[in-house]
Structures are given as C-alpha cells and as structure tokens.
Amino acid sequence: MTNTSFETLLYRHHGDYVEIRFNRPQRLNAVIEQLYEETIVALQRAQADSKVRAIMITGEGRAFCVGADLKEHGAGERSQYQRRLYLQLGNDVCETIARLSKPVVAAVNGYALGAGAEMACACDFVIMAESAQMGFPEVSIGTCIGGGVSQVLPRLVGLAKARELLFLGERINGAEAERIGLISKSVADEELDHYAVAFMHKLASKAPISMAVVKKLLLTASHTDLDSQLQHELDGVFMCSTTADWQEGIDAFADKRLPEFKGV
C-alpha cells in the first residue's frame, strides 16, 4: 500500500517491512529541505509501527539520490541561517537512520552521490546494482562531507581507501563498492528489486528485540572500551533472555522449525 501523504517520497507498507522511495525523479532525487524533512517523518513513522520489522530506502527513476539540488543552491535564496538549518537536516537524517532500533537497508539504483552516498552509508546494509555509481564529490566542488561519513567510511573501507574516495571524489560501481567493503552486496541491475525484497523478508524474520540490541552495540562499539562493551553485551543477553522471543527461539530450535518472533 502506498501512502500519498508525502510530496517528495513514496511510503509503501509491504507487511513486515516499509519502503521509503525518494520521489523527485525529474531531478534525479536531488535533495531539498522538504525531502530531508519528509524522510525523517517517514523513518519515525516506520519506527513507531510495531508491524514494521525493517525499512528499505531506495529511489524512483534513474537514481537513488544525486545529492544536493544545486539548482536550488544556485538560486541563492537561502539566508546564512537557512543554509545552516538545511545542512543540519542532512546530519539529522543520517543520525536518525543510524539510531533507529530497526534495521535500515539502502537499495541503490543508479547514482548515489554526495548526500545520497551519505544517507546510504548511514544504513545498516547497502545493496547496489552493478552499474549503479556511488561517490563523494564534495572536495571536488569545494564543500565538505557530512552525515557522519568521516567516522563511518574509514570503519567500512579503511582509512587509506576512505581518503582516496573522499579526496579524489571518483565514482565507483557496485562491483567495486562490494570489493572494498563499502556495501553489503552488488547484484545485476535486473535483479536488484527481487534481491532487495527477498533480503527484506529475511531480515524481518529475525528477532526484532535482539536486532535492536545488537544494532545499538555495533553503533557504540567504536568509542567504547572493551570492559564497558563486554558489560553492555552481558546486559543485552540478559535483556533478551527476559523476552518471549527468547523462549520461542529455544522452542523452535528444539522442534526443528523456523521461529515466529513477535517482538515481545
């Protein structure tokens, strides 16, 4: 079912997962304030819906998102204050994606550049069409990266490769992105939709409370010392053991069947 309450997005509920589709194909899904604002609302809506186990972000038409709408920037109609608010929105979207308790998957069709690449990197998984292109052109056009990329990218590909991607701004295709560890999976263009849907259902079948705990552990691990992280993991195991899903997992294993998790 498609929700039409957004102007720059399509919000589609597919049972156990939600699809958030950037919908400015005439501008290759270039970012304006409204797209950022509506993306945050859509993410929060999916987070609040107990029936939703996972979230997919993708783009309508020939691109995932080509970054900032330079035509709007070039119009020069923003005050300095408005420009700061716009930039903050970009960070807010990426932070919202990272901090959601539910897994977020980027299905990258076509171009993911600048802010588009930043939003993709904020997701828990990135699935990319082989011919799609991802790149960080900020330095090449005299601006700067955002959305936490300076932290996330080196963790994904290593510092040397992160420097190369950010300083040179060269685009890479899906196969190369998978080779260097930037994304989870590269698939043939014609298989992207099918693979992404199958992946979403597989993800949605896992224990949601356990997934939320593990997602938070992974988010904080890079700046937590080992003793603290071990304690956080212990707390996570104990919390999961208090849920009905824990018992369902044990029972399903004993019965040699697939578990049916309820998120309680």
List the catalytic residues: 118, 138
Residue 178 in tokens? 């998978």
What is the edge-to-edge ordering of all strands in the sheet holding 54-59? Answer: 2-3, 9-14, 17-22, 54-59, 104-108, 125-129, 185-187
Residue 155 in tokens? 């963790």
SS3 260: coil
Q: Which of 104, 109, 142, 148 lies closest to 123 in space, CA to CA?
A: 104
Report how far residue 69's alpha carbon sits from residue 73's, in angstroms, rounded to the nearest whole number: 7
Q: What letter would DSSP give residue 16? A: T
